[in-house]
Amino acid sequence: MNDLSHPALTLFSELLAYPSPSGMEHKMAAHLRRRLEGWGYTPQQDGAGNLWVRLPGRDQSAPLVCYAAHIDEIGLAVHAIEPDGRLRVGRSGGLLPWKLGETPVEILGDHATITGVLSMGAGHGAREQTLEWSDVCVITGLTPNQLGEAGVRPGSLGAPLRSHCGPVLFGDPADPLVGAWTFDDRIGVVALLRLLETLATDHIQPVRPTLVAFTVQEEVGGMGAKVLARREQPEVFIAVDGCPITPGSRLALDGRPGVWTRDRVAPYDVRLIADLCAAALAAGTELQPVAYDVSASDASMVFAMGGTARIACFGQVRENSHGYEVARLAVFDNMLRTLLHFVEHWS
């Protein structure tokens, strides 16, 4: 029940050790580079911070396809420093304060990382209310001068304390659930890492010329993916990301991945959706289609700015999106099997 030795969870735990709010993904990227080089790859990186591996296809005349998972996470940003050292904070990406609760956080200063506790005031005598970022602060126990020495300033970014992030296994030991502070999108990163490891170990070459990319700043507008797509001009862009269970979505935590059919930015390519569903069936699972009126992915944001011709997005189905999320452990292997079959056979 407490066994976290599953290959996906081993990689996931490694990645959780690196706080990476949008704009501060460099430590995560450095860890990924070391992993990729250990498997014999020569990763490339651009000025935005995107990291990618280029794979030749068996059909060199085929158009380029990009598989992308973003390495940033939602977090909080310092807006002001009070005279007593408390920090006034707001969101970075789609984080809501009640998703965190009163919990320890790390503030990533220019020179040092400091620990504080997110505070929402006294519960005694309080009335129920809608909680906004203006209602909370971070208690640091430090003076403004001490915070300045650490390089904490307006614009500094923060994330939950790493020791509180998980993962944890629970539920039926034969088919467990996994909980952690946001799978978004470290589990997409894990899926692409496992894909690259399998391709290298088993000497598998994709059908098409391929980029496997780890993008930055997805949570604040898909900025990294836009930079990457503008330069590389892939015809096909597939985001490997999660599928949140929203009201009315009918998604199930049963081990099957999900596939997006539309979101608030764009519809997804119906032929790609069909081909991904066929790959999943051939790999021994199936995909759950879902339509969103909210959310967006690297793929839809790249498509909206004219950076690619065809898009798809698929990944793990998860509860508690943008919070302490829950997924079925089996979904991680089903994502890998689907990706592997698609990369090896799709033409």
Contacts of 294 (CB under 8 A, 6+ apart): 246, 263, 264
Tokens for 146, please give them: 């001490």
The pLDDT of residue 123 is 65
CATH number listed for the domain at residues 75-161: 2.40.30.40
Residue 155 vs residues 18, 91, 129, 301: alpha-carbon distances, Å? 19, 11, 28, 25
Distance CA 282, CA 338 (A): 8
Would you give the DSSP letter of residue 17? T
Alpha-carbon gap, residue 44 to 35, rounded angstroms: 13
What the block records as the tokens of 180 is 């952690």
Alpha helix (H) ranges present in 19-92? 26-38
Q: How far apart are CA 289 and CA 280, in angstroms?
A: 12
DSSP state of 107: E
Cβ proximity of 148 and 162 under 8 Å: no
Q: What does the pLDDT read at residue 50?
A: 98
CATH of domain 7-73+182-345: 3.40.630.10
Q: What DSSP string runs through 215-262?
A: ES-GGGTSHHHHHHHHHH--SEEEEE--EE--TT-----SS--EEEEE
Domain boundaries along the sequence of the chain: 7-73+182-345, 75-161
Cβ neighbors of 175 (< 8 A, separation 6 or more) are 255, 328, 329, 330
pTM of the model: 0.95
Determine if residue 3 is left, alpha or beta; phi over 0 gives left, psi from -120 to 50 gives alpha, anything else beta: beta
Question: Within 10 Å of residue 10's Cβ, how many Cβ atoms?
Answer: 11
HSE-CB at 209 with a 13 A cutoff on CA atoms is 9
Residue 125 has a pLDDT of 52
Q: Give the helix ranges, DSSP H, for the chain.
A: 7-16, 26-38, 97-100, 144-149, 186-201, 223-232, 270-282, 298-304, 330-345
Output the CA torsion sign for 170, 17, 163, 108.
Answer: negative
Query: What is the residue-level pLDDT of the chain in tens, covering all 347 positions?
Result: 457 899 999 999 999 999 999 999 999 999 999 999 999 999 999 999 999 999 999 999 999 999 999 999 999 999 999 999 999 999 999 999 999 888 999 999 999 999 999 998 776 555 666 788 999 999 999 999 999 999 999 999 999 999 999 999 999 999 999 999 999 999 999 999 999 999 999 999 999 999 999 999 999 999 999 999 999 999 999 999 999 999 989 999 999 999 999 999 999 999 999 999 999 999 999 999 999 998 999 999 999 999 999 999 999 999 999 999 999 999 999 999 999 999 999 98
Residue type for position 198: T
